């Protein structure tokens, strides 16, 4: 149980702290913003599924912080997409 949560946290931390999250949204292309919105939504959904599988233990403060950071990252990318590329919003395919 603890090992599974540690793996999830490690994956989330590496995803949140690097890669696309290092993207400067103001300089991002519309395609990069769309990718970031889609990827962060999928990462959040995966994290929620992982937490549900281990529902015998309540969420820790670290769980909540990680999900909050991922949500903030998604919201920032979505907001920038709405401002910078409003036409792209209707073309997002989350599948």
Burial 52-77 (b: 16+ CB within 10 A, else e): eeeeeeeeeeebeebbeebeebbebb
The tens digit of pLDDT for each residue in 73-88 reads 999 999 999 999 999 8
**Where residue 21 falls among pLDDT bands split at 50, 70, 90?**
very low
What number of helices (H) and strands (E) belong to the chain? 3, 0
User: CB–CB of 36/90 below 8 Å?
Assistant: no
The tens digit of pLDDT for each residue in 37-86 reads 999 999 989 888 887 887 777 878 888 888 899 999 999 999 999 999 99
**Would you list the domain boundaries of the chain?**
2-15+28-91
């Amino acid at each position: 149980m603890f090992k599974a949560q540690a793996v999830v946290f490690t994956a989330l931390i590496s995803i949140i702290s690097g890669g696309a999250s290092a993207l400067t949204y103001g300089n991002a292309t519309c395609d990069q913003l769309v990718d970031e919105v889609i990827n962060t939504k999928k990462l959040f959904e995966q994290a929620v599924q992982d937490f549900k599988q281990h529902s015998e233990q309540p969420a820790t403060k670290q769980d909540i912080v990680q999900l909050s950071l991922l949500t903030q990252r998604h919201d920032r990318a979505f907001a920038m997409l709405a401002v910078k590329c409003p036409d792209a919003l209707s073309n997002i395919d989350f599948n």
